[in-house]
Structure 1
Amino acid sequence: MDISLRIVIPSLLLFVLFIVDLGEGHNSCPELQCGNGPPIRFPFRLKDRQPDQHCGYPGFDLYCSHSNDTVLELPTSVKAFVKNIDYKSQLIEVTDSDNCFPRKILRLNLSSSPFQFKNSLYNFSLFSCKPDTESSYQVPCLNSASTSVLAFTSDDDIDDLPVLSCTKMYTVSSVPYDIWSYSSLELTWSGPKCGHCEGKGKICRFENNSTDLKTECFDPDKDKGRSRKIMTTVSILGSFLLTLVVYALYRVYSYDKTEKENQARIEIFLEDYKALKPTRYSYNDVKRITNQFTEKLGQGAYGTVFKGKFSNEIHVAVKILNSSKGNGEEFINEVGTMGRIHHVNVVRLVGFCADGFRRALVYEFLPNDSLEKFISSVDSNRFLGWEKLQDIALGIAKGIEYLHQGCDQRILHFDIKPHNILLDQNFIPKISDFGLAKLCAKDQSAVSMTTARGTMGYIAPEVFSRNFGSVSYKSDIYSFGILLLEMVGGRKNVDVTVENTSQIYFPEWIYNLLEQKEDLRVYVEDNEDAKIAKNLAIVGLWCIQWHPVDRPSMKVVVQMLEGEGDKLTMPPNPFASTNPTRINVSMPASHLNQELEVILESE
């Protein structure tokens, strides 16, 4: 081992142990809870999540059930679900799994438990009576079709009780009166006495280094000052450690011959790997690559996507296709289309599996998921910035232009939408999911289709009806235009979550703002951001012209996105209706509110 590593590794370990000791100290027991249950802190302890015994007082162990309920195990294996804990009053409310504590009353013995019943205790005699016996003494959850069960205290006068046709069952001692009629019980505890801590706004815990279960109150706010001291100490030690790390890295990258050779072999492999055509894998290969389908990335109508890896450096996304969906057309489209193309803005197909009825597609793994996560999220931290959005829009346009013009045959995608735009580690966009794609000759002005294909809200009008024109590569341009407008507005074309399901059509709303020379109502920080947003909106409106002949080619779209925004002119109004257009959430555009006849043609 290099001498620098011999110095740095022990230093790192000591530093980590020191920080852990400072950070955790004696208060290393955070407040936890099971699902939506009550908060759990000292004197209680979640024994399945807090193995450290000093986190809770003896006898105050709780655990989470399979259904995420908080469970307290009382003596003689009586399990109770915890509904509430009042730390100040030292009171815990519990209920039985079937809401019938009387059924377990003979096994319930709190003499060896730290908990006691809160209310006054009585001795009871239980009687089995005829089913039609009516009395306020009934125990409802013990009744059956053949008997009614009554509970009387030892103080009750037997002559006044309706027990002529009853048989005594058994006697129960020292239980509260409400155990027979309520679904929950209130238990209290006398020690440890932590209620006074809670009353002062403090928290109870064991005394530091205590060996006889003594407790103390501590103020969590004082830990903030301690944290500042920790940060100061960490900064000083971190600076020293950083110097050691930089020195170690210099030694490793400068003199470690073995590491250099390994890195060179990896780089050569990665370079050769890029040139490989899609490889055919067996289903056993797919299971090995995905580690038996351990990490699920997502699921769609046609299959489930899992994360896989060939090595620690090469990760892939494996899409397992549903055998029950379709007739294999999506699989044939993906392999036949993506196997012949390679472009920086098109996701790369690494390989495929066709093993009997099992089919899978292996893609390059893109860590930043899809564009949809960044333009339709309510989380402002996900906003990428307008310059990045402009770069992404241009990358998508170049990818579509390549599909339309860069291959021997024109590739029509027919499902351009944010969900099918994946982002790599540098947020470079890559078009994915070619399951609906069609091939046609470059000089072919129209393609025939027997049915509409695509995703509602992104489908061009001519795909629904030939009344608007022929289906062609211009249909992809319409979908791209809708995608651009969603990037500008930060919302989906059809929002099914809104209260009013008859909103004005979103693209028309944007057009009206631009036509009236109003600012787009989007988040911008300066004039440059506003300019980018306006340019993207104008290009998007050009792309969604209702008639395909009025839409620009993707080559022109790229030039518009790359050119000077000031030179862009507003397109004609694509919305012909005189009144504000309204849409139903199930329709993709205002013009489709009318009944359209889909013209069937042969392939």
Structure 2
Amino acid sequence: MWWVRVIWALLLSFWVLLQQSSCSSSIEEEDSCRASSCGKISNISYPFRLKNDPKHCGDSRYELSCENDVTTLYLCSGKYHVQSINYHNFTITLLDPGLELNNCSSLPVNFLSRFNFFDDVNQDNTYCTDPYQATLNNHGNDDDLLFEHIVYLNCSHQVTNNHKYVDTSSCINSHSINGHSYIYAMAGDLIAKDFQVGCQVKLVAPTSGFGLQRNQLLPYHVMHNALAYGFMVSWVNLVCKTTCGQSNRCSFNATTEKFHCSDDCGYIYMLHTCGKLSRQMLFVIIETIVAVWKGLFGILNGQPRYRYEDFYCPEYIGFIIGQYVLPSILVARFMFVMTLFIGLLIYKWRKRHLSMFGYIEVYLQQQNNLTPIGYSYKEIKKMVRGFKDKLGEGGFGTVFKGNLRSGPCVAIKMLRESKGNGHDFISEVATIGRIHHLNVVQLIGFCAEGSKCALVYDFMPNGSLDKYIFSKEGSASISYSQIFDISVGVARGIAYLHHGCEMKILHFDIKPHNILLDENFIPKVSDFGLAKLYPVENSIVTMTAARGTIGYMAPELFYKNIGGVSYKADVYSFGMLLMEMASKRKNLNVHAEHSSQLYFPLWIYDQVENEHDIEIEDISEDEKKMVKKMIIVALWCIQLKPDDRPSMSKVVEMLEGDIETLNMPPKPILYPNETIGNDQRSNSDQTMSSDSVEIATDSLIENIS
């Protein structure tokens, strides 16, 4: 087999020559690159480059700008000034351009946290995973973090019971961040137990300043000086890939400034190249296979089993059998067993999944009093004509426009398979299927075929209420007389749900988006995915988790000490909706000129109580009375305690009656602790349920992102 060795030797020599030529050309290109400078940064070299440097110099992902003699880096959609570059520990120090040393009233202009560097939340260009990272190791822990957070919070009230909140009034004007009265700063990460009711996170800034410890109470000027020092990010990931390769584990020791490479998968498969055979090992395996076949051929012909000269490096035979053949057999057996196990799990899941939707079909067949028509999925696809005309999308599914055979337009909601496991579908069909009211959306039919679930509704050509009451550029406009008629219709629809059916129906998601308008602007209450049915005699219902939309949810869903959850939760939501309809604006206005106007219900209460005219342009005297009546009724509906709110039947009576018969309610209270003196407050009075903490945390993450 000498000719095989000659061919392999020639191929190997040719490959080495190619590698040497490519290396020499790249070395020549690198030699032509010189370190750049801009302002006080004079050592800009690989992997960094300035925009005007030759294209082959540096890495395009690490491009810097020189603006007004200041080295600038654009990171996570924000602009930062480069303070220094450390090529020994692979870090670059950046400074927010809004910060000034020894001027504690200066604030960062960019919002940046460690969450911007997480791979699993990388959704848009506000996240920056590669080429920079917040740690010195690919698999780093908290000890490897390069910077900490300074969190700025806006609070509607003074915080006195949280030692982590540092008052900034000595430096920052109270109107510096969206006009809130109290501005606090906190060093470290804001967790759920640190969250204060009435406070919102408005800014997060990083710092690598010396002496700043995580979650430590420090004076604000110390925090500001730490911010003015700047913060560090690392490009060690690039050097790790170059030093250890893509498939190896890499760690960097900042003390010794050395890298350590390890092969994770080598210990599993006993292949120290992570499944990739080297050229030398490939030669050995080919030669061994040839030798084995020759040996077998010799045995069949009565010759000795093998001859020494038939093997190339025979000492490798035992190594190959022990290190490759036997482990390969074991791995193959393991993979076969795992394949069978995974297949069994998939079979069980599909069987259970299909049986669950079979249960839906059986349930709907048993409801003889349901009038909706059952459609097949094939008929649904014909109605929507390939799902081309999309009307909207929500948490429980996507809504498409379609046509019945007889011609009328319909709205078809396709429920997501992963939402609610079919329970939201049953809830909506069982709830709306037995309702017939002018102000409640009509369910025409449904589809429950295998895993495909759909609901067929009357089509509402004028869409949802929110686009008429919230002023947007190019949005449609309706008169206050129409708005008042819509409010009365919505109130009648909710009153019917509470008192007009065999079972009491609690909607739990009353908001402008769920009020649909037909061609005559008659309102229809829709979206019963969160609705619950209860016996009429039940005054209090059992809730395992808070449900609804933040801003419209009743306070008893958060606080345990003001009353049980009942139909009065829908009354509160209707009050918030009615207030927005009367004002044609959101109840919470973060851009208000005065802090007293931040929460509209409190501001408008003072105006009405002091008999001030409500200034609304292009409105008649009769319409002003309608608006005032809507506001007074709304203020009754949003009382903190459920017992202080009227029923929806009473709300309809108040709206349809004379305004002279209405009395002003007590001033709305935002939080339960506002009703208790400072010296009588207790931890239990201010404790939120676990559900409300989750909702508050979700809202906080949404604001940050």
TM-score, length-scaled by structure 1: 0.51
Q: Which residue of 2 aligns with 1:458?
A: 552
Deviations 1:186-245 (A, max 9, x none): xxxxxxxxxxxxxxxxxxxxxxxxxxxxxxxxxxxxxxxxxxxxxxxxxxxxxxxxxxxx
Q: Which residue of 1 aligns with 2:161?
A: none
Deviations 1:346-402 (A, max 9, x none): 001111111111211111100111001111133486221111011000000110111
Q: Which residue of 2 aligns with 1:539?
A: 633
Paired residue type of 1:382: A
- Secondary structure of 1:467's counterpart equals coil
Deviations 1:305-334 (A, max 9, x none): 100111473111111111112222211110
**Cα distance between partner residues in 1 of 2:536 and 2:55:** 80
**Cα distance between partner residues in 1 of 2:621 and 2:646:** 27
Residue in structure 2 matching 1:440, options 516, 529, 534: 534
Deviations 1:73-101 (A, max 9, x none): xxxxxxxxxxxxxxxxxxxxxxxxxxxxx
- Contact 2:590 2:598 (8 Å CA) reproduced: no
Q: Give ranges in structure 1 of 5+ residues lacking alignment.
A: 1-127, 146-274, 582-591
The 10-residue stretch of structure 1 (341-350 or 304-313) with the greater mean CA deviation from structure 2: 304-313
- Secondary structure of 1:448's counterpart equals coil
1:488 aligns with 2:569: no
Paired residue type of 1:522: I
- Contact 1:524 1:530 (8 Å CA) reproduced: no
Q: Which residue of 2 aligns with 1:526?
A: 620
- Contact 2:507 2:531 (8 Å CA) reproduced: yes
Deviations 1:561-592 (A, max 9, x none): 111122211112222789999xxxxxxxxxx9
- Secondary structure of 2:421's counterpart equals coil
Residue in structure 2 matching 1:596, options 683, 688, 694: 688
TM-aligned CA deviation for residue 520 of structure 1:
2.2
**Cα distance between partner residues in 2 of 1:356 and 1:437:** 24
- Contact 1:414 1:475 (8 Å CA) reproduced: yes
Percent of aligned pairs with the same amino acid: 51
1:417 aligns with 2:417: no
- Secondary structure of 1:468's counterpart equals coil
1:310-321 equivalences in 2 (<5 Å): 310-311=404-405, 313-321=407-415
1:500 to 1:508, Cα distance in 2 relative to 1, 3 A: closer
1:61-210 equivalences in 2 (<5 Å): 130-131=28-29, 132-133=31-32
Paired residue type of 2:521: F
**Cα distance between partner residues in 1 of 2:685 and 2:464:** 30
The structure whose residues are more often helix, as a share, is 2
**Cα distance between partner residues in 2 of 1:557 and 1:523:** 27
1:285 to 1:494, Cα distance in 2 relative to 1, 3 A: farther
Q: Which residue of 2 aligns with 1:266?
A: none
- Secondary structure of 1:488's counterpart equals helix
1:513 aligns with 2:607: yes
1:143 to 1:415, Cα distance in 2 relative to 1, 3 A: closer
**Cα distance between partner residues in 1 of 2:595 and 2:414:** 36
- Secondary structure of 2:548's counterpart equals coil
Deviations 1:84-125 (A, max 9, x none): xxxxxxxxxxxxxxxxxxxxxxxxxxxxxxxxxxxxxxxxxx
Deviations 1:428-477 (A, max 9, x none): 00000011111111121111111111111111111222311111111111
1:231-380 equivalences in 2 (<5 Å): 277-311=371-405, 313-379=407-473
**Cα distance between partner residues in 2 of 1:321 and 1:499:** 43
**Cα distance between partner residues in 2 of 1:513 and 1:541:** 12
**What is the aligned residue count?**
333
1:354 to 1:496, Cα distance in 2 relative to 1, 3 A: farther
TM-aligned CA deviation for residue 512 of structure 1:
1.4
**Cα distance between partner residues in 2 of 1:144 and 1:381:** 52
- Contact 2:370 2:430 (8 Å CA) reproduced: no
TM-aligned CA deviation for residue 553 of structure 1:
1.0
1:363 to 1:499, Cα distance in 2 relative to 1, 3 A: farther
**Cα distance between partner residues in 2 of 1:140 and 1:549:** 72
**Cα distance between partner residues in 2 of 1:285 and 1:418:** 31
- Contact 1:375 1:383 (8 Å CA) reproduced: yes
- Secondary structure of 1:507's counterpart equals helix
1:390 aligns with 2:512: no
- Contact 1:466 1:599 (8 Å CA) reproduced: no
**Cα distance between partner residues in 2 of 1:535 and 1:563:** 9
- Secondary structure of 1:332's counterpart equals helix
- Secondary structure of 1:328's counterpart equals helix
- Contact 1:465 1:599 (8 Å CA) reproduced: no
Deviations 1:110-157 (A, max 9, x none): xxxxxxxxxxxxxxxxxx99534579xxx9878599xxxxxxxxxxxx
**Cα distance between partner residues in 1 of 2:669 and 2:581:** 20
**Cα distance between partner residues in 2 of 1:451 and 1:360:** 26
TM-aligned CA deviation for residue 496 of structure 1:
6.5
**Cα distance between partner residues in 2 of 1:144 and 1:392:** 66
TM-aligned CA deviation for residue 595 of structure 1:
3.8
TM-aligned CA deviation for residue 523 of structure 1:
3.2
- Contact 2:640 2:670 (8 Å CA) reproduced: no
- Secondary structure of 1:466's counterpart equals coil
TM-aligned CA deviation for residue 529 of structure 1:
1.6
1:518 to 1:503, Cα distance in 2 relative to 1, 3 A: closer
- Contact 1:504 1:580 (8 Å CA) reproduced: no
**Cα distance between partner residues in 1 of 2:588 and 2:674:** 16
1:311 to 1:142, Cα distance in 2 relative to 1, 3 A: same
Deviations 1:22-60 (A, max 9, x none): xxxxxxxxxxxxxxxxxxxxxxxxxxxxxxxxxxxxxxx
Deviations 1:517-548 (A, max 9, x none): 11224334221121111110001111111111
Q: Which residue of 1 aligns with 2:37?
A: none
Paired residue type of 1:470: G
**Cα distance between partner residues in 1 of 2:671 and 2:400:** 46
**Cα distance between partner residues in 2 of 1:357 and 1:599:** 30
1:134 to 1:349, Cα distance in 2 relative to 1, 3 A: closer
Residue in structure 2 matching 1:557, options 618, 637, 651: 651
Paired residue type of 1:349: L
Paired residue type of 2:432: M
**Cα distance between partner residues in 2 of 1:510 and 1:524:** 19
1:555 to 1:285, Cα distance in 2 relative to 1, 3 A: same
- Contact 1:280 1:352 (8 Å CA) reproduced: yes
1:578 to 1:406, Cα distance in 2 relative to 1, 3 A: closer
1:578 to 1:551, Cα distance in 2 relative to 1, 3 A: closer
Q: Which residue of 2 aligns with 1:404?
A: 498
**Cα distance between partner residues in 2 of 1:278 and 1:517:** 51
The 10-residue stretch of structure 1 (567-576 or 407-416) with the greater mean CA deviation from structure 2: 567-576
CA RMSD across the alignment = 3.4
1:499 to 1:579, Cα distance in 2 relative to 1, 3 A: farther
- Secondary structure of 1:327's counterpart equals helix
1:477 aligns with 2:585: no
- Contact 1:389 1:487 (8 Å CA) reproduced: yes
Structure number with the bigger relative contact order (C-alpha 8 A, sep ≥ 6) is 1
1:441 to 1:578, Cα distance in 2 relative to 1, 3 A: closer
1:141 to 1:435, Cα distance in 2 relative to 1, 3 A: same
Q: Which residue of 2 aligns with 1:572?
A: 666
